[in-house]
Chain A
Amino acid sequence: MPRLKIDSTKRRNSELALLALALLLVLAYSATVEATMLDTITPDFWVPTAALAGVFLALHVVIRFLAPFADPAIIPAAALLNGLGVGFLRRLDLDDVSGVAEAADRGAFAGGGGRQLAWTLISVIMAAALLVLIRDHRNVSRYSYTLGLGAIILIMIPAVLPAQYSEVNGAKLWIRFGSFAIQPGEFGKLALVVFFAFYLVRKREVLSLASKRFLGIDFPRGRDLGPVLVVWMMSLLLLVFVKDLGTALLYFGMFVVTLYVATERSSWLIIGLLLFFGGVFLAYYLGELVGGPFANFYDRATIWLDPFSDIDGDGYQLVQALFAFGTGGLFGAGPGGGSPGIIPEVQNDFIFAGMGEEIGLFGLVALLMLYLIIVERGLRAALDVRDSFGKLVAGGLAFTLGLQVFVIIGGITGLIPLTGQTTPFLSSGGSSLMANWMLVAMLLRISDAARRPLASGGGLATAPGGKPAPQQLHGAPTEVIRP
């Protein structure tokens, strides 16, 4: 027991050290921004970083007690991304103020950066609350059907609400009351992963076993295909009604991957990809031929193919983003040294482009590495955790986060057609921050279970030979029986 204690303490200590390093970088970032933009560093430049430090350290303490074996790299990586996001949004605020004095007078919670800081505090507290509430991730499976129903309701509400309560910048993704707005889909995404995981753990046997062989691929029976097709149709419907291709792609990719992980059958991947590309081509040609609800996707594909053909019109945003990336070059203009304000929506979808001008290729690669750390550490937790439900939840969440980063950053760098998505932890907005911190809390909870030594009372019995015993979860078998 003492040895185990040392083990977890060491892990938490490295988390604390990494967190301190992350906060130091955030502090240096805000100092550089002020020095560049105001020619002076205001006496209060440390206040936002101090607020972040307070809440991150609180989270760290909660983890020390409630998830001592959790992966120590996840929180510092997310905190650094979040802190730089707050710093960059504050930097955008400085573009609006004309005088140095006025800028210096800004409070910690003023402007877009201040709002983001407030949301960060709330989000991190929620993540801590989640860790307090859920002591064992397997308990969540009890609420799976509720969560599944909740997810569909959350995702559908904006689509059925009148536009005045749900539409922002042409996308029906919101629930708005006056000046307050939330994006329920961000939370729906999390609930959906949990529901998928639960459903698939129960159904995986029949999905993997009952199949017909055709062209060397094992195809499942038609009635087992049902749920996949339903989710695929839902994604397409979303695409049509909500004009949100990114989310549709995200849900679909999420579902196909959890299905693949659950059944270990690559045929699902092939079917998924065929349906996906089929859907995309169909949407493109319908967009070209009949327009209407498909026109949005067709336009985006056209812009992607040649943004420079319409620099002043549809291509403007993407071209300005490319200019920002190109102007930043390898090393960037330095924090505060660029002109991110030129890119429309730089605080949301295009934040990565705005930062790219100032921190350059090297800075952006570092940011991508932070995302990669979170995603791969999440997948590592999925590999190590012993129950199927935990594997699917952690794998699904981590993969979805990675896919979301790919979809939005691929979009604004011109790699793939642009679809509206938030950049996790960076983009301005409370819903996205909260959902992503809840996602991090789930990953922490599962990685704690994965790394918790078996003897330390994790509730898991050890099979002879030191291998973990198969876990029972609602009667589903954990070992896949190959045909």
Chain B
Amino acid sequence: MNAPLRKASIVILVLFGLLFANLNWVQAAKGEEYRTHERNSFRLRDVEYDKQRGNIEVHAGGTSTEAVALSKSTDGRLRYQREYPFGDVYAHVAGYKPVYGTASSVERFENDYLSGQSDELFTDRVRAMFTGEEAAGGNVLLSISKAAQEAAYKELKENKLGVKVGAAVALDPATGGIQAMVSMPSFDPSPLASHTQADTDAAFAAYDGDKAKPLLNRAVAETWPPGSVFKVIDSAAALEAGSTPETMLEAGPSYVAPGTTHEITNASANVCPQQQISLIDALTVSCNTSFSRLGVELGRDVIKKKAQDFGFEDEALTCGNLKENSGLTVATSHVGDVANADGSEDKAAMAQTAIGQKDVRITPLQGAMIAAAVANDGVQMRPYLVERLLGPDRTSTHYTVNPEELRRSVSSDVARDLQTMMESVVNNGTATSAQVNGYDVGGKTGTSQNGITDNHGWFVGYAMKGDTPVSAVAVFLEAAGNGGSAEATRIAGQILKAVTSERGGN
């Protein structure tokens, strides 16, 4: 019976050989993949919370900075507790880092750096090993301005129409650095960073179950019809086609596009009732009939091309760290098909598209980027949030942003004409409440119909000091109804004032 016993012994060796081989596969070959799998985050938390996670900081005037997310030591088993001292104000920008769950925003895409795991911090880790100091994570300095962010948050939250849903974005047109980003309603991230799973789950369930979706960052993640804001694109296309601000357009109380019976009218009877109006005045008073006609005359392809030059249909856009090209995913802004069933241009749809209705959709960030391109001599910069990465001891800088040109939207000549026109809107037209003393402010209001709720209110604009752009801003109020765009304009003015006063303090 020894021969079969020997064979049984070989069978056992083969079975154990399979176990050895498979363990090698699971632990060595696939180890890295399993270790870094996003659903494996819980497992590393104990190790992770044994060292101090870095700060997320914003500019607080001059060269000073202030932490909006930081870690404090505790007596518990997890030695550090994440805190968000400003609660709702920076919730969507900085994000949150839960012990039990997935992080968001900067906390998510700069996790490696904040937790001290990234390659940039390798020398710091080695140094900590030799000096016996506690290794800590690196600090992330955002391009956000405390004054602008707080103004945007306060004004949006306390808006005079009692609107609950909205967003505001401000950015530096010359660099693309985001100065303020607020989404409303907001939430307090601190309960999500609780060390108790029950508390985290309860807080998350409350936020997630809220119909108003407070966790959603509306500044980048959702799109709405822009209404008259889109007339800036039409104007740019017209100027490039050879018009000047003084070129006369047909106006009048109503316009019916070829091949349809749908009548496009103006916002009210006293807006451009005359037969003719100059391009600059048409923008200033927001004349629908002129721009619809202009859109149909220029045609779908020209308008869509110009919209793309301003960033529409950019499906790859993110807003975060330029070097890693990581960050918040930005929802794509669309013009729509403007096509009949056979694919040919639908002129009736084109007439509506030209005034930002029909299928046109933009994010608030896209709105700010349109204004920024105009202010920055026609060049649109890639938006970013991360300005600098500082070592744990703050003496070394591991990264400083190198602003990146995203695309040229219009020539400098056209940009200058657009500035003239948009400044006319603020100085003589629908957006006087956006004025800032000592600065040239340009902008465009928008009131967009969505067919379901009250009209949305929009304002996009910018402030310049001489030839230097200072800030571009977009404010959006969902279903704000009458006066929505006026309130959006007022809020934008307050945000621009906050940015310029901080600049003035330099």
Contacts and interface: CB of A to CB of B under 8 A. Distances in A.
Given A264-B3, A368-B19, A368-B20, A413 B26 contact: yes
B43 A324 contact: yes
Interface in B1-50: 1-9, 11-13, 15-16, 18-20, 22-24, 26-28, 30-35, 37, 39-40, 42-47
Contact of B24 (A261, A361, A371): A361
B4 A368 contact: no
B16 A329 contact: no
B22 A326 contact: no
Q: How large is the interface on B (under 10, 10 to 19, 20 to 34, 35 or more residues)?
A: 35 or more
Interface in B85-131: none
B26 A399 contact: no
A167 interface: no
A369 B13 CA distance: 11
Contact of A361 (B2, B15, B23): B23
A260 B8 CA distance: 9
Interface string A401-437: 0110110011001110000000000000000000000
A137 to B, nearest CB: 16
Contacts of B3: 264
Given A337-B47, A402-B16, A414 B8 contact: no
B211 interface: no
Interface in A207-250: none
A383 B39 contact: no
A383 B23 contact: no
B23 A323 contact: no
Contacts of A328: 27, 31
A398 B3 CA distance: 16
Given A339-B42, A368-B20, A325 B9 contact: no
B72 interface: no
Contacts of B27: 325-326, 328-330, 356, 360-361, 364
Interface stretch (A284-292, A372-380, A451-459): A372-380
A257 interface: yes
Contacts of A262: 1
B23 A364 contact: yes
B262 to A, nearest CB: 49
A395 interface: yes
A365 interface: yes
Interface of A is mostly: helix
A409 B31 CA distance: 17
B41 to A, nearest CB: 10
Q: How large is the interface on A (under 10, 10 to 19, 20 to 34, 35 or more residues)?
A: 35 or more
A383 B3 CA distance: 9
Contacts of B76: 98
Nearest to B12: A402
Nearest to A319: B39
A327 B48 CA distance: 13
A323 B2 CA distance: 42
B34 A257 contact: no
B1 A323 contact: no
B38 to A, nearest CB: 10
Given A361-B28, A406-B16, A414-B26, A327 B44 contact: yes
Given A260-B8, A342-B42, A322 B1 contact: no
Nearest to B36: A326
Contacts of A338: 43
A339 B43 contact: yes
Interface string A241-272: 00000000000000001001110100000000
Contacts of B9: 376, 379, 383
Interface string A61-87: 000000000000000000000000000
Given A376-B9, A395-B5, A326 B16 contact: no
A217 to B, nearest CB: 16
A357 interface: yes
Contact of A260 (B4, B24, B39): B4
A262 B2 CA distance: 10
A402 B13 CA distance: 9
Contacts of B77: 98
A323 B12 contact: no
Contacts of B20: 365, 368
Given A365-B23, A406-B15, A410-B22, A325 B31 contact: yes
Given A325-B31, A368-B19, 4 more contacts: A322-B30, A330-B31, A360-B27, A368-B20
7 contacts: A327-B43, A364-B23, A383-B9, A399-B8, A399-B12, A410-B19, A415-B19
